[in-house]
Structure 1
Amino acid sequence: MRDIKFRAWDKKKKIWIPGAYGFHILGESMLIGGLFQDYKLLDLNNIVLMQFTGIKDKNGKEIYEGDIVEYEDCMRKFGKTKVRFYQYSWEPFAHMSKTHMPIKYEIIGNIHENSELLE
């Protein structure tokens, strides 16, 4: 079983919000914090939550929804794509057959700070 984790991006301030370990949605607000941290009440309209995929890249970094990953598959073709949850599974991981499963993923950025990487 994988860990259910989230991270949070503040669209207005353009910063990562520390402490997305625990959160509660309260109408149009989100109470965020936990694990020896003070709780903060934030405007939900300014927050983007991204879930951990349960997969780590070749450097051991956790891959979250919204990350941009570069990969090398078994046939030595390179590509890069945005990680997203689509039709009950994480892309790009679920749509590759076992024979073409990428052998190396590396996080090269995310859609909030490095969207130009997808151009």
Structure 2
Amino acid sequence: MTDIHRQIADLEADIDTLSDAAERCRKSMIVARLAIIAGVLLVGASLAGVVQTDALVLVIGIAATLAGIGLLGSSRGSLEHITGKVRATEARRDQLIDGMNLQTVQDG
């Protein structure tokens, strides 16, 4: 395999790795949203008297909400960073392919 083919294969492997990392960020964002919803519902239910009002219940609800917000922000930032790296890597791969001066083969 020539050097340019190896570089393209390495870039494609990097793109796959980055895509997997982006998917993990998306899953973390879902978990974060669920934590925020659960925390808000717990605090709301506690304040509305639906569940027994206890300081521990309020603390757990507030902690879940804040943890969810932190995780959501962190995951979103990571996802944006990874997406930028994927675009840059794809652009580099496309440059290498374009530089190969490939010719179109026509059926005939």
Give the TM-score normalised by structure 1.
0.22
Answer 1 or 2: higher relative contact order, Cα 8 Å, separation at least 6.
2
Give the TM-score normalised by structure 2.
0.24
- Asked which structure has the greater CA Rg, the reply is 2
The structure with more strand, counted as a fraction of residues: 1
